[in-house]
Structures are given as C-alpha cells and as structure tokens.
Structure 1
Amino acid sequence: MTKQRIISLDVLRGITIMMMVLVNNPGSWDNVFAPLEHANWNGCTPTDLVFPFFIFVLGAAIPLAILTKELNQQSFLKILTRSLRIISLGLFLGFYGKIEIFNLVGYPLLISKLIITGIVAYILLGNFKQKIKFSLVLTLFFVFVFLAFSGITAYNEVRLPGVLQRIGIVYFFTSLVYLKTEIKGQIIIIGLLLVGYWATMTLIPVPDFGPANLNKGTNLAGWIDNLLLKNHLWSFSKTWDPEGILSTIPAIASGIIGLLVGQLLNSSLAKKEKGLKMFGAGLALVISGLIWNEFFPLNKSLWTSSFVLYTAGFATLFLAAFYYAIDIKGYKNWTKPILVWGVNPMIVFFLSGILPRVLSSIKITNPVYTTGNLNEIPEQIGLQEYLNRFWILPYFDEPKLASLIWALLNILFWSGVLWYFYKKNLFFKV
C-alpha cells in the first residue's frame, strides 16, 4: 500500500533543492549577487529561506510517507536508519577533503577518494534489507565519529555539524512526534520549543561572556558549540556553527510545522478548503514571525523562533499557491523539469557537494603565471577556478553575472542527470 503523491509538494521540494544547488555553487564566492547570499547576521534574504523550506517539506512529507501511525520496534528502526543515513551523508562531505591514503597525492589520491565516495554512496543510498541497512549505516557512522575524535591529525578539525546532519536529526524527532502525538500535542510541542529556545537564548547568562546576548560568537548557542565540538566547527567561524547544537532545537519546530501542514494535505477535507487553510496559516505565521522579530530578531545562524515562524509561513504560502495551481486547477504540464529534482533530492545534494571538491582537486597550469612573481600568482589553479576565469568570465563584464552563469550551468548539468534518473526509474532513497 502506498499513498498518492501530492505533486505540489514534490514541486516545492524540487524548487528548494534546485535553489540549494544554485546558492551553494557560485563560480566565485567573492562575486555573488546579494539575494543569493545569506544575511550577514540578523535579517532574512531569499537564500535564507532555502534551508528552512527543505526542513518544512521534510516534515510535510512524513504523514504522506509513513503508512501506519504506530511506533514499534520496526518503525523506530526504520526511522533511526534513515536519520543516520542522512547524517552520515553530511559527515562524509566534511571528511572528503581530509582523506589521506598512504601518502598519495595528486590524481592517485583523487581516484582513491572517488572510489571511497562510490562505496559510501552505495552503503548510504543502496537498497538493502532493513537489518543489513541499519548495520551498515551504524558502522559507518561510528567510523566517522571515531576518526573525528581519534587524534589523527588529518581529522582533528573536520566539521561535524552541517546541513544534512541537521536534516537527519530533525527527521528523526519529527517522525517520532508524528507517531506519538496528535495535532494538539504537536502544536504544544512547537510552542514549548520556540518559547523555551527564546527564553534560553535571552535569559541565561553566557559563561565567559556575561549576560545573555544574541551577538555573533558570544551567544549561548555559540558557547555550547565551542564547548562540545571544539575544533570541529564551521571553518569560517571556528568557535560556533550555523548548524550547531542548540539551534537545532528550534529547527525541529520547523519540521513539526511542516508536519501539521502535511497532515492537513492528508486529511479528507475538500481540496479548496485545504488550500484556504494553508493560505490562512501561512499568512498568520509570517505575521507572527515579524512581530516576534521585534524582540527576537530573524536570524538563520541562530535559527531564532521568529525565523522559524517567518520561514515556515512563507513555505506554507508557496505550497498553498502550488497546491491551488497544480492539485486544484490541474496545471501540471510545466512541472516535469522540477519534479525530477523533487523526487531525487538527497542524491543530487550529496553529489553536487562532491563535484566542486573534485573539480578543485584537478589542477591546471595558470595561463597568467609567470616566473619571478614572488608567488603572488599561483602556478596551478583548480579546474573550477580555471573554467570560471578563462572560459566564462571573459564573456561577461560583470564578475557576479559570470559567477551566476556557473551556478546556472550546474543547475543545467544536474537537471540532465536527474532527468536520466527519472526516465530510468532510478530513485535514490535514504
């Protein structure tokens, strides 16, 4: 028995993962248009909507995917396995650049990394019996944890938090909430998580820094990250992480809000009534988020409670619009190029994270290198930088436009790959 897919939800997921790939793969991080950058701290840009949209969709899909609302050993093991697979995919992205094998360098090392990537992808995305699947992913997960804390120099500073890690954690807890509670209980949990997080961040003094604050690097969430995951945090911040420990708690609320909308979609109400309820709920959430913003500012890195409501509200409004156009009015012909993204999100997110690492490992002689330049211009550069600087940038006067073209070419490339997977009925499930 399977439940009927809701195309509008697949479309929202497809657009979201497409945007993830777009914003994560500019030609140059020094040349990005403002809407494709995250807010420096407080605030919310279009790019800041992408990650919470994915978590919202993840939550909304749970009641559509879990056929029996019963928590037993089998269902718990299935949820835990999927969560660990998602987390392990994210961990491997962090470990990829740190892999060292028998002092190999250059292309032998790159080939070895690609072989390891293939093995890891097969373990985490392959179709095995449940017990085998769980044993494989649990073993791999503990290998990553062991390496990170083993004292081996190469892995001393590998990043442990991340986007996929947060997605896996949110999926685990949101699924359990769905199986153990009803809608009223889920609303109460959302309230407790958001109010509790606000109180924690604004009332509890920060050791070593003094009174509670929401500043970069001195807030309680950052202090906890640095205490528990020292040296294993985001390389650009060093002492805190945008996908850190404490800020994952309100992210669970983002997933549960999606869960509520998913249960609405799965209900027996008329389609028009579902659409109206989604529109009303989305509007209320956005307004609530803006009001709370006055006291607890919108902030993606801290995943503030106002940010949860605001972004979940926009996700609900987008879904309501797609639901009206696709599932109510029947305008479906335009959706196929997006659906190919929506039905295979994890494989493309994982591989699109590996590809730039591979391209950067392939070294090309720098055409502008000259001897005696006092090392100001490197003799060799990565293939990605080479293609951007010498194949794309010369055709555009605006570096930011050239950088965007590279990102769009990534979208085009992965669209072709995903279209092939779709035609061959290849759907990679974690």
Structure 2
Amino acid sequence: MLKNQKDMLLYDSIAASEPRNTKPVSCQFYYMLLQSNRLISLDALRGFTIAAMIMVNFPGNEQYVYFTLRHSKWNGLSFTDTIAPVFLFVIGVSIVYAYTKRLTDGTAKSSLYKKIVFRSLKIFAVGMFLNLMPEFDFSNVRWTGTLHRIALVFMFCAVLFLNTNWKQQAWIAVVLLVGYWLALTLIPTPGVGKVMLEPGVNIVAWVDSKYLPGKMWQGTWDPESILSTIPAIVSGITGMLAGRLMISRFSPGEKVNYLMTAGLFSAIAGYFWGLTFPVNENLWTSSFVLVTSGLGALLLGALYFIVDIRGYKKWVRTGVIFGANAIAVYVLADVLALFFYRAGFGGLPLNELVVNELVQAGMQPELASWVYALFFVAINFVPAYILYRKKIFIKL
C-alpha cells in the first residue's frame, strides 16, 4: 500500500493517463517507483553528452579537426551537431523526474515557478559571463549561446510540464514543428522578396537582425537565434514525453521497446522530412529535431537496457561522474581553457605546442588535435571526480 495521500495522488496522476488496455499494476509498484534510486542511465547520458561538448569545443588545433567533430557549415548532420539537441532531450527527461517528485511532495506550483525562473536566470547569467570572458567587453557582447538556449528551453518546458499532460505536450510539439516548417518555407524574407533558406538571408536571420541585441556569432546570423529557440523547445518536449514513458507502469522491457521504437520512427520521419526541409542545426529545422530526438531516445533506451536492466553500471561510471555536475563542469571547462589554450612557451599556447610535438612524432594532424581534446576532457574529469567523491553537487 502507498504510505500517504501524496503517493496516492501520484499514482492517480500516472494511472489516469495510461492506456486503458494495459494490465493493472498494484499501488506498491508506484510507491517503489517513488522510492527508487536515480535513473543511472539518464545521469550517464547527461554526463557523456557534456564530455562530448567539451571534446568538440576544445580541439588541439582549430585548423585540424575531423569533419564529424565540427558543426556542419549548413545543411547536413555531423556528430557535433547532435550533442546540443540530445542534451536538451535529457533536460526534458530530467524535468519529468524532478517535478513529478516535487508535485507529489505537495510543493505549490507558485513556489516551483519562482525556482524555475530563478534557475533559468542563473544559467543565462553564467552563459553571459562565459561570453564576456576574458576581456569583458560589454560593447561587443553576444546575447546568445549554448547555456542561454538551455536556460530558455528548461524554463519553457518546466512550466509546460506543470500545466499540461503528455498528450497536450505531444500536440504542442506537433503544432510548433509544423508551424515552424510553414513559417520558414512560406514566408518570404523581407527585402529579398522570396523564400530563402540560405545562411544570413532567411526569415530567421531577418528576425535576429531586427530584434536580437549585440553581436551575432556569424556576423549576419546566429545559430542560437530567436525563432530557432521554438523548435529547440520541442527537443525538450520530446525528452519530457520519453520521461513520461520511463515513469509509466510499463515493465522495464516494455519501456525499452517503446522508447527504441519511438526513437527509430522519429529518426526515420526526420530523415524523410529532411528531403524537403533540410536537416539543419543552424536553423534547428523540424526535421533536425525529429532526427536528433530519435537519436536521444535510442541512446537512452540502449543505456537503460545496459545499465538499469542488465546492471552493467561500471561501464558508465565516467558518464555518471560528469553528469552529477554537468553544467558546472561545462562552465569549468571554459575557465580552464584560459590556461590550457593560452599559456605556453616560446610564444605558442600549450595546445599548439602539444599538437606540434605529436605531429612531429608522426601523428596525423587531425588525430593529434583530437588526442589533445580528449586530454582536455580528462583534465576536466579530475574536478568532476573530486566533487562527486565529496558528494558536492552544484545546481545552477
């Protein structure tokens, strides 16, 4: 039996939205769910994603980088392009776990709203700090970036979760993706007179030129633009849908099956949509959302099977350690880069010195650059490990 009324409320909220043809499960199942440990596969996926962000952001030499470790110049999909949307997908899953528990504990929504907004502002402020560092030139500041987008997606998705059920969230995702597709393919770019999807001359870039303050990453356009934040929110919503599945009363095996199946069909749908609305991270196109959210679901499903069902937890320990202080480690990497990418000897920064030595030893330049990037990830693992061992969890 459930121990108190709060547990019963969660049981009712979960059971009410379950498919009617599923087999009834005892209340004890939901109580065990409430009391269970964190989803280790989710923590691992969060950590591995942050480690991948650091790896691609800090190569040994910007001139020598494997294609797939760079962002696509425009249309297309590289490994690097998938990292940010998968992290937003993870945020969506995490929202379900975090706020389902808080609602069950009887926390008032008004209190949750304040915490959500405050946390979003903190993440946004840290993003601004990283953009300004190290010169702190306020006259040439960029108001967008990875942390800025994380802050906005988290805020909108968390508020949405508190006020809608999973079916409403699914419909909102569909409307936003279709609406974004229609806007970009039907509305001519002002001043051009026709629909354009090329860099700097599309409707997304035009809106930024009118309403986005500060400088843009690419001069005339920015990959973290105003309009593209809309489909980025959908990346978070897809994570919330996956999270809803993970706390459902389906058996672990059924959860894996549904999650992997949904991921596969999402990626396929995104691929075929991409034939007419190209997969493009810079515009965060609707097809891009489906492909990357599908990948997120497949990764979570695979890790859930390996780690939480089969019990192979040692395999993902590194990811769990990174994931325990994910955003804090991401920020720390930028700070450490001031030394590892600026300090050096003989007029060359440390990264170039190391890469040059590796190349002279016979290593391919791109491989040498990647090896240094992995070395920098390992450097960031040290403080992450110390924080984890001391059970210090920095929540931005």
Alignment TM-score, normalising by the size of structure 2: 0.87
After TM superposition, give the deviation of residue 73 of structure 1 in Å.
Answer: 2.0
Q: Is the 8 A contact 1:289 1:310 kept in 2?
A: yes
Shift of 1:39: 1.4
CA–CA distance in 1 between the matches of 2:211 and 2:351?
35
Residue of structure 1 equivalent to 2:6: none
The aligned residue for residue 260 of structure 2 is 279
Matched residue type, 1:204: I
Q: CA deviation at 1:418?
A: 1.3
Q: Which residue in 2 is equivalent to 1:68?
A: 102
Preserved CA contact (<8 Å) 1:71 1:179 = no
Q: Which amino acid aligns with 1:81?
A: F
AA aligned opposite 1:347 = A
Count of equivalent residues: 359
In structure 2, distance between residues paired with 1:322 and 1:90: 30
Aligned to 1:407: 373
Give the distance between the partners of 1:397 and 1:425, measured in 2 at CA.
Answer: 40
| Residue in structure 2 matched with residue 9 of structure 1 by the alignment | 42
Whether 2:395 is the aligned partner of 1:429: answer yes
Partners of 1:233 and 1:240 within 8 A in 2: yes
Label 1:267 to 1:32 Cα distance change in 2 as closer, same or farther (>3 A).
Answer: same
Q: Give the Cα separation in 2 of the matches to 1:315 and 1:422.
A: 25
Render the CA deviation track for 1:344-366: whole Å, top value 9, x for unaligned.
Answer: 10111111122223444446433
**Residue 291 (structure 1) aligns with:** 272
- Contact 1:293/1:306 (<8 A) preserved: yes
Alpha-carbon distance between aligned partners in 1 of 2:201 and 2:270, rounded to the nearest angstrom: 24
Q: Give yes or no for contact 1:281–1:316 (8 Å, CA) kept in 2.
A: yes
- Would you say the 8 A contact 2:109–2:162 is kept in 1? no
Q: Which amino acid aligns with 1:382?
A: P
Structure 2 counterpart of 1:300, from 261, 277, 281: 281
Match of 2:134 in 1: 97
Residue deviations 1:139-192 (CA, integer Å, cap 9, x gap) = xxxxxxxxxxxxxxx322211100000000000000011000001100111011
CA distance in 2, matches of 1:276, 1:284: 12
Deviation at 1:402, TM superposition (A): 1.1
Match of 2:333 among 340, 352, 355: 352
Matched, 1:58 2:25: no
Unmatched runs of 5 consecutive residues or more in structure 1: 100-153, 367-380
Using the TM superposition, give the Cα deviation of residue 427 of structure 1 relative to its aligned residue in structure 2, in angstroms: 1.1
**Alpha carbons 1:60, 1:261 under 8 Å: kept:** yes
Query: 154, 157, 163: which is aligned to 2:146?
Result: 163
What CA distance in whole angstroms lies between the structure 1 residues aligned with 2:388 and 2:345?
A: 34
Aligned to 1:329: 310
- Matched to 2:365, the amino acid is P
Question: Which one-letter code corresponds to 2:288 in the other structure?
Answer: F
Distance of 1:408 and 1:360 partners within structure 2:
14
Tell whether 2:231 aligns with 1:250: yes
Alignment partners' CA distance in 2, 1:215 and 1:97: 33
Q: Which amino acid aligns with 1:395?
A: A
The answer on whether the counterparts of 1:17 and 1:349 sit within 8 Å (CA) in structure 2 is yes
C-alpha separation between the residues in 1 aligned to 2:111 and 2:378? 40
1:215 and 2:189 aligned: no
Q: Which residue of 1 aligns with 2:320?
A: 339
Separation (CA, whole Å) in 2 of partners of 1:360 and 1:319: 33
2:298 equivalent to 1:310: no
1:357 partner letter: L
| Amino acid paired to 2:331 | F
**Counterpart amino acid of residue 68 in structure 1:** R
Whether the 8 Å contact between 2:355 and 2:365 is mirrored in structure 1 is no
Contact persistence 1:157–1:233 (CA under 8 A)? no
After TM superposition, list the pairs within 5 Å mapping 1:126-137 onto structure 2.
none
> How far apart are 1:313 and its partner, in Å?
0.3
- The AA in structure 2 aligned to 1:33 is Y
Change (3 A) 1:21 1:274: same
Q: Does residue 188 of structure 2 align to residue 205 of structure 1? A: yes
Structure 1 residue 394, shift from structure 2 partner: 2.8
Distance, in Å, in 2 between the alignment partners of 1:310 and 1:221 is: 21
Q: Secondary structure at the match of 2:46?
A: helix
* CA contact 1:156–1:232 (8 Å) conserved in 2: no
| Distance (Å, rounded) in 1 between the aligned partners of 2:102 and 2:301 | 26
Which SS does the other structure have where 2:140 is aligned? coil
- Please tell me whether residue 418 in structure 1 is matched to residue 384 in structure 2: yes
Contact 1:3 1:64 in 2 (8 A): no
Q: How many Å apart are 1:72 and its aligned residue? A: 2.6
Residue 382 of structure 1 corresponds to 349
Take 2:48 and 2:98, find their aligned partners in 1: how far apart are those partners?
20
SS in 1 for 2:119: helix
Does the 8 Å CA contact 1:161/1:244 hold for their aligned counterparts? Answer: yes
- Per the TM alignment, residue 216 of structure 1 is displaced from its structure 2 partner at its CA by 0.7
Distance (Å, rounded) in 2 between the aligned partners of 1:71 and 1:49: 36
In the alignment, is residue 87 of structure 1 matched against residue 54 of structure 2?
no
